């Protein structure tokens, strides 16, 4: 599940993005930044969001690393395709 969808699901469960922010101890604007991609969401926060959303922790960790791969590099692009 993409980070954006995970955040949307977690926010629904938490009651709002503001409540989600409180649960993971970040400013509410950080949630918006994570969701839009304008702010990097670290692994620890991403796992916390995934747990609230009911997503699989291990898959979340793999998705985190897949998102960091460079699609311009053929080896990394292939690895990313395999992980999807």
Phi and psi torsions of 16, nearest 5°: -175, 170
Place of tokens 């101890």: 25
**How far does Cα 74 stand from its chain's mean position?**
24
- Mean pLDDT of the chain, nearest integer: 94
Percentage of residues in the chain with pLDDT exceeding 70? Answer: 100
Q: Is 30 a residue whose pLDDT tops 80?
A: yes
pTM for the full predicted model: 0.86
Please give the Cα distance from 70 to 77 (Å, whole number). Answer: 6
Specify whether the CB–CB gap between 46 and 64 falls below 8 A. Answer: yes
The model's pLDDT over 41-80, given as tens digits with 9 standing for 90+, comes to 999 999 999 999 999 999 999 889 988 888 899 988 898 8
């Amino acid at each position: 599940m993409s980070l954006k969808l995970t955040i949307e699901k977690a926010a629904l469960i938490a009651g709002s993005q503001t409540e989600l922010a409180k649960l993971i101890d970040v400013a509410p604007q950080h949630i918006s930044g994570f969701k839009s991609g304008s702010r990097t969401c670290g692994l620890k926060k991403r796992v916390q969001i995934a747990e609230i959303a009911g997503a699989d922790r291990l898959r979340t960790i793999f998705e985190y690393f897949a998102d960091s791969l460079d699609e311009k590099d053929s080896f990394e692009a292939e690895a990313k395709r395999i992980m999807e």
